[in-house]
Chain A
Amino acid sequence: MASRTGLIVGVVVVVVVVVAIAALLASQKQAPTPSTTTPATTSTTAQATTSAAATTTATKTITIGAELPLSGSLQFMGTSGQCAVKLAVHDANQMFADKGIRFDLVVQDSACDPNTALQKLQTLYSQGIKFVVGLTCSSELSAVMNFAEQNHILITSISTSPLLAVPKPYIFRLPPTDDAQAKVLVTLMHMLGIKKIVIVYRSDAWGQGLTKAIMNFSKVYGIQVLGAFGYDPSPSAMPAAEQAAVQKASAALGTPSPDAALEIVSFDQDGAAVVQAAMNDPVLSKVRWFGTDSNVYGTAIMQAGGQALAAAKFMGAVASPNPNDPRYLEFAQEFKQYCGHAPTGYDPYYYDTAMIVLKAIAETGSTDPTVINSVLEQWGSNGTYVGATGPVYFDQYHDRMYASYLIVGVAIVNGTPTWISAGFYNGTTGQITVFPQGQPLFSP
């Protein structure tokens, strides 16, 4: 009897829960919609009163979703990126107010976990959201690809893994893949007369992929890779793992020389451990150092060894529009006002993941993901959209083409090691322009 009571309680709980979710969600759909193609599109009424009479204007509200790593290992990117996406929505609402369109944003934390990312995408979809921006980790993009394709959810992502350079309908990646970054780094090394390098890299998908790409491009320029040494990037392994990798790299390089260099493929925190080990190494402390888009502008790496970074003429490349481009300057200024700090790393890309979609919706008047997918393909082939990151071209896999990079380095400014913009790699011409303040970093 007691067992039956438990069973009944169980049945009631399960049924109530399922019906409650269904009812709650279904009730959301009851709101009047001017467009039958987008259940997320709701109608609100904005009333404007004039001295003579009251008039009513219908405003179409379109909700888009964002999945960002607001917790987990890439939280530092996600929280700043969230502000960039909110800024894009804010800007779009001002730009397209005269068209009677208002955009709303629903943010979910994907935690850079593929399981969570798919669940959150399904939740967003159940709310009628067909446009999701900001997915950051390649693993989470892998997990949601099939669901997005099956249900026609248009996703704009900032994942950079070359592994995902495959056909992926409804998914667009705004930053270039890491192959492009590798090309820039090797071009920079070649320009500086580097002939042999050792690589210390974090042994995750990003680190392995970028390292392999650097090794491949090095062959093109005849740069010899004397060794690549991975380390476990988990905080529990720090700093012993980084120190061990640095020691191996030092042994592989043997003796320091002007044509030798150390490439540090790391994020900020683990990069700090690498720098601390390298600055005390008798060989590596006497050669040039190079970084990546994920450790330049880092605070931890600068605190760990700012003087050593400056002494090693540390430089890295971060995908970026030309810093002197008026559009970027406008974005940077607005971002600082809106978010309270200057944009770093991927912030302009997060902004563009949202803005390109919002603009396509506003200009076509369509909220059908299939239509917007075609529009983005067309814009991507013509470079029609020019955003905070410059003109956007997509290849056949919906990945960004012709990306430009800002060369960022460390120099002593007023006695303090400081991040400076040292140069600019033009993705269209393949040329590096050295800025005046970057000249000392490019000298032998």
Chain B
Amino acid sequence: MMRDTAIKAAALAAILAVVAALAFLSPLPRDVKVLLQNLSIYIAIYAIYVISLNLEVGYLGLPQFGKVMFLIIGAIAVGGIATKVVLLIYQSYLLKSIGAAPLSNIGDYCMLYQYSAGSLVNQQLAQNPALGFGYFLLGVALAMALSAALGVLFAYPAIRLREDYLGILLLVSGEFLRVVTYYATPVACGVNGAVIPDPFAWASGEARTLVFFAITAALLVATFFVFDIVGNSPFGRTLRAIRDAETAAAVFGKDIVKFRIRVLALASAFAGLAGALLAYYFDYTILGAFLPIYTFIGWTMLILGGQGNNVGAIVGAAAYYAIQTLLDIYKNALQALLHADPTYLAYAVFGLAIILVLMYRPQGMVPEKPVKTIDLYTIRKGTVDKNA
């Protein structure tokens, strides 16, 4: 089983290597390569996000309508906490350079000089890659830990209730967190948005993009590996049993609430990782931008790709971005053809795609496969061998 997952993870790594070669080393025009580079990063980040959603929705059948909450938490961990740690480290330098200590008056820092401070911090981080990497790891670790804890905390009041109640609570929780943090300046500079120092400031231009892609790709492979192992373990089989017949699973002694809590903790942690990566990628975050649409983008990717298997989650993310990019490139040509305003074309296309997939291929592009289990003979043989 582990071998099968390792093969799939290795195949994913190989694909990402091919993509990297195409995007960074091929003789394609520079502007096309830049698009492929950045598209690959988006797909990798959103694949992590959708894989985590897949564990909740595809494996457990949890109505996760508040997924965007963890992108917000990831952004807070990076833009609100890790950034402040770096500002604290360089506080005396900033005081000397611009005559102000950011943490002594966050309001003024956010409204008046965070771009100047960010630029100065980047200059320092460029000379200290180790600190930059530590700052990156801090943001990622905080995002995962906070997301896991808050994911469980927000869902806890309705964790014992039916799916629809839990779904509504999660949806509301995402909006609640967005609105509260957006208007709270101390969190991540509130309505002004937070400038995030670049942890990879030592690498510039295409090298910076390559480093970011390599790290994101490695984290995607690791995420895939973890979730595939979990999905094909006895734990994963129990999740599918709960999804398909909750009452039957409960009769067999499975504690539904405990499984929900564990799944929420694990999936939320990795969604928080995606949020942190997005924040580092943009070097800027504004929490008000994380509208519920980001939850439903994740659902769209999952529905298109296929629920209940991690390959489908990745394919869904890739397909979504490919379609969206192609629409962006060709929508002006389509406008002439359709004689209609193409502003909402992407929404219409994805809406139609979801309807068609649900009607004619509800399993998505990559259908869920039967769980691979070790047959009883092999298990018994192993037990006998051990005892011998």
Contact = CB atoms under 8 A, between A and B. Distances in A.
A68 B61 CA distance: 39
Interface string B29-67: 101101110111010000000000000000000000000
B195 interface: yes
Nearest to A207: B191
A120 B325 CA distance: 9
B17 interface: no
Interface string B18-35: 110010001011011011
A71 B282 CA distance: 22
Q: Secondary structure of the B side of the interface?
A: helix
Contact of B31 (A9, A126, A163, A205): A126
A125 B31 contact: yes
Contacts of A26: 28-29, 32
Contact of A204 (B191, B314, B370): B191
Interface in B302-338: 306, 309, 311-312, 314-315, 318-319, 322, 325-326, 328-329, 332
A134 to B, nearest CB: 14
B348 to A, nearest CB: 13
Contacts of B214: none
A26 B32 CA distance: 7
B235 to A, nearest CB: 18
A107 B332 contact: yes
A268 interface: no
A126 B32 contact: yes
A232 B286 CA distance: 16
B226 interface: no
Contact of A203 (B38, B119, B191): B191
Interface string B111-132: 1101110010000000000000
Nearest to B228: A3
Contacts of B322: 17-18, 20-21
Contacts of A9: 311, 315, 365-366
Interface in A171-210: 203-205, 207-209
A243 to B, nearest CB: 18
Contacts of B19: 14, 18
B115 A120 contact: no
B315 A14 contact: yes
A143 B38 CA distance: 14
B312 A10 contact: yes
Interface residues of A, number: 58
Given A17-B319, A29-B29, A125 B328 contact: no
Nearest to B4: A3
B115 A208 contact: no
Given A6-B369, A212-B111, A21 B325 contact: yes
Interface string B71-103: 000000000000000000000000000000000
A113 interface: yes
A13 interface: yes
Contact of A13 (B319, B329, B372): B319
A106 B334 CA distance: 12
A108 B372 CA distance: 46
B187 interface: no
B247 interface: no
Interface residues of B, number: 63
A14 B314 CA distance: 9
B292 interface: no
Nearest to B26: A22
B211 interface: no
B367 interface: yes
B225 to A, nearest CB: 14
Given A29-B29, A123-B35, A205 B192 contact: yes
A166 B116 contact: yes
A6 B289 contact: no
B112 to A, nearest CB: 7
B282 A118 contact: yes
Contacts of A22: 22, 26, 28, 32, 36
A48 interface: no
Contact of B286 (A10, A109, A139, A234): A139
A316 interface: no
A216 to B, nearest CB: 11
Interface in A1-54: 2-3, 6-7, 9-11, 13-15, 17-22, 24-26, 29, 39
A205 B328 contact: no
Nearest to B38: A122
Contacts of A234: 179
A373 to B, nearest CB: 18
A114 B8 contact: no
Given A13-B365, A26-B29, 12 more contacts: A13-B319, A21-B326, A22-B22, A25-B31, A25-B329, A107-B332, A115-B282, A122-B34, A125-B35, A146-B283, A167-B119, A207-B191
3 interchain residue pairs of minimum CB distance: A126-B35, A17-B322, A10-B311
30 contacts: A6-B306, A6-B312, A6-B366, A7-B8, A7-B311, A10-B366, A14-B318, A17-B319, A21-B322, A21-B325, A21-B326, A22-B28, A24-B326, A24-B329, A39-B29, A39-B31, A114-B193, A114-B284, A119-B42, A122-B39, A126-B31, A127-B31, A127-B329, A128-B29, A139-B284, A142-B284, A151-B31, A204-B288, A208-B191, A232-B179
